[in-house]
Structure 1
Amino acid sequence: MVSPPVAVVNACTRDGQGGSPTAVVIDDATLTDNDRHATVRRTGTSHTAFIDASTPDTPAVRFFTSVGELTNCGHGTIAAQAVLLHRSGATEHHGRQRTAGRTFATTAIRRHNGVEAWFDQGVIALADHADPTGGGIIAALGLQRTDIAADVRVASPGTPRLLVPLRDHPTLLSMRPDFDQLATECRRLGYLGCFTYALSPTLRTAAARMFAPAVGVNEDIANANSVGCLAAHLLDTSGTGEIEVHQGDTLRRPSSISASATHTGSGIVARIGGVVDLGPPIVPG
């Protein structure tokens, strides 16, 4: 295999700093999935987006971690759209992306601090009465039932994950999950992972941590799809569907993701955005 060129960008930065290092590859039809896995391991990033640019009006994007392919990836979509805008030389683009059989709207705009990118997440399914205690999820997270501020919910924009509200910010920061146990429980119950969060008093900002060892990512610096899920949950329970979420502080990579959820005839949908620092444009393959 001839290694394809790889752009490594920082997705969902906060105040011009941090963000999640994300690899973006212009895909080659000759690559096999084994080749793509090798590329992920070579880049050393938690996620890699592979863009099929053969249909430039609606590029197809696939996402891989070190252990497999993901159905979708929010911050990977934001990174991919920023790289596509950079390659085009334009200052703004409104387009569409195909991932996992779904085509959705995207926007990318050059800003002074990078590229601001947004995408439509689609319908988010919310399920009540999730009880993670019986399955050992709470114990695997290193939490007690008294650490949980409200009902735990299952949310799925295509892949289900748990939304776990915590009583305060210090509890969030002090978490020390047992990743092996958490991976076992999430695989058994069919969850991508656990999105733990602490809301501010205004409900418009939150701090969060996302744990997904079942798919090879012990802790995400930024998890955009889960932020969209949180926005949908907040709209459903409080009527306020706008949120800005800070992640990555415990990993010394501050990140910020914004989401806005709305009711539609098909269900609750969300629009998700973040700023991408392109950094050095290309890392040789």
Structure 2
Amino acid sequence: MISRLPVTVVRACLRDGQGGSPTVVLDEAPLSDEERCRIPVLAGTSHAVFVAARGSAVSLRFFTAEGELPACGHGTVAALAFLAERAGDTEYRATLRAAGRTFAGRAVREEALFRAAFASGPVELRDPSAAECGLVLPTLGITPDTLVPGVRVASVGRARLLVPVATRSALAALAPDFGQLRSACDEFGFLGCYVHSVPSRSGRIAARMFAPSIGVPEDIANANSTACLAADLAGRGVTGIAVDMGDSLGSPATITATARPGAAVEVGGTAEVTDVILLP
């Protein structure tokens, strides 16, 4: 039973201490997958993270209203902040496990906030097929004059499309047809589409993540897709990026990532543990 179940709300990937993606974090409990899917809906968040900690070894499971995910970057940031606050130390380190993958994570307390980061794991990259681009891209509402060469299929647990556009204003103007986008993504097994601007000289980028196939039409923050982009850009000489998201949803978020060719990607953000609430 999930009625009156206490859950913790963490705002993950804040920008200058504001905004972020509200994420529910709670201890592992004997719940069905159907009940787990209901928790983010009842809490008013896009994702829920279930934590099973035994010392510094922590298992994570991620759910949206549509089902379980093999990975969730901002959910991992939220979980690290949750665990760091519980530990009460200035710096918290853990060995994390999710969907059969083991990786390192850490969080450092900075007054009322936590700066968290983790190793994203191997990123698989390939060029999309003409069929993939031909079916998916029109559903995003991208015009030929704003699309930039370099569309990629990237996977860190599940494939998604990385789509570059020329400017931040072109990104902000996008109005996808979510029904058609979901059908197109389902056709190829894509998690969704991560549309991003080209990086500035300092590595600053804007992005929007559309993922109706997992019940999230637009994500406030998507750290795993940012890790995928960092891995792709590392091959072009860009080793560090800061990606702004969430502005179109009124909740500014920023995710940072560092990568070098052939090396692991580290991705993270700042988080705040805000409230403990009882589910209705």
Letter in 2 for 1:272: V
- Is the Cα–Cα contact under 8 Å of residues 228 and 271 in structure 1 kept in the other structure? yes
- Is the Cα–Cα contact under 8 Å of residues 162 and 229 in structure 2 kept in the other structure? yes
Q: Does 1:262 align with 2:263?
A: no
CA drift at 1:202: 0.8
The residue that corresponds to 1:16 in the other structure is: 17
- Aligned-residue sequence identity (percent) comes to 43
- Is the Cα–Cα contact under 8 Å of residues 169 and 198 in structure 1 kept in the other structure? yes
Q: Does 1:68 align with 2:63?
A: no
CA drift at 1:2: 4.8
- Is the Cα–Cα contact under 8 Å of residues 58 and 94 in structure 2 kept in the other structure? no
Of 225, 231, 244 in structure 1, the residue corresponding to residue 242 of structure 2 is 244
Name stretches of at least 5 consecutive residues in structure 1 with no aligned partner.
none
Please give the root-mean-square deviation of Cα atoms over the aligned residues, in Å. 1.5
CA drift at 1:33: 1.3
CA drift at 1:201: 3.1
TM-score between the two structures when normalised by the length of structure 1: 0.93
**Structure 1 outlier segments of 4+, above 3 Å:** 129-135
Cα distance, 1:132–1:210 mapped onto 2, change above 3 Å: farther
CA distance in 2, matches of 1:247, 1:62: 24
Task: Note the alpha carbon deviations across 1:157-179, whole angstroms, 9 max, x for none.
Answer: 12111110001111000000000
Of 248, 253, 273 in structure 2, the residue corresponding to residue 278 of structure 1 is 273
CA distance in 1, matches of 2:172, 2:112: 28
CA drift at 1:56: 2.9
Matches of residues 1-285 of structure 1 in structure 2 within 5 Å?
Answer: 1-3=1-3, 4-28=5-29, 30-53=30-53, 55-131=54-130, 135-202=134-201, 204-236=203-235, 238-264=236-262, 268-280=263-275, 282-285=276-279
- Is the Cα–Cα contact under 8 Å of residues 130 and 153 in structure 1 kept in the other structure? no
Task: Note the alpha carbon deviations across 1:255-280, whole angstroms, 9 max, x for none.
Answer: 0000011233xxx5210010001123
- Is the Cα–Cα contact under 8 Å of residues 92 and 108 in structure 1 kept in the other structure? yes
Name stretches of at least 5 consecutive residues in structure 2 with no aligned partner.
none
| SS of equivalent residue, structure 1 residue 145 | coil
CA drift at 1:57: 2.1
CA distance in 2, matches of 1:211, 1:134: 15
CA distance in 1, matches of 2:247, 2:86: 31
CA distance in 2, matches of 1:226, 1:119: 14
- Is the Cα–Cα contact under 8 Å of residues 33 and 67 in structure 2 kept in the other structure? no
Deviates more, 1:132-141 or 1:117-126: 132-141
CA drift at 1:43: 1.0
Deviates more, 1:152-161 or 1:138-147: 138-147
CA distance in 2, matches of 1:80, 1:24: 6
Cα distance, 1:114–1:131 mapped onto 2, change above 3 Å: farther
Task: Note the alpha carbon deviations across 1:224-272, whole angstroms, 9 max, x for none.
Answer: 0011111111011x122210000000111000000011233xxx52100
CA distance in 2, matches of 1:154, 1:79: 26
CA distance in 1, matches of 2:143, 2:41: 36
Letter in 2 for 1:52: A
Cα distance, 1:178–1:98 mapped onto 2, change above 3 Å: same
| SS of equivalent residue, structure 2 residue 57 | coil
CA distance in 2, matches of 1:129, 1:38: 34
- Is the Cα–Cα contact under 8 Å of residues 132 and 188 in structure 2 kept in the other structure? no
Q: How many residues align structurally? A: 278
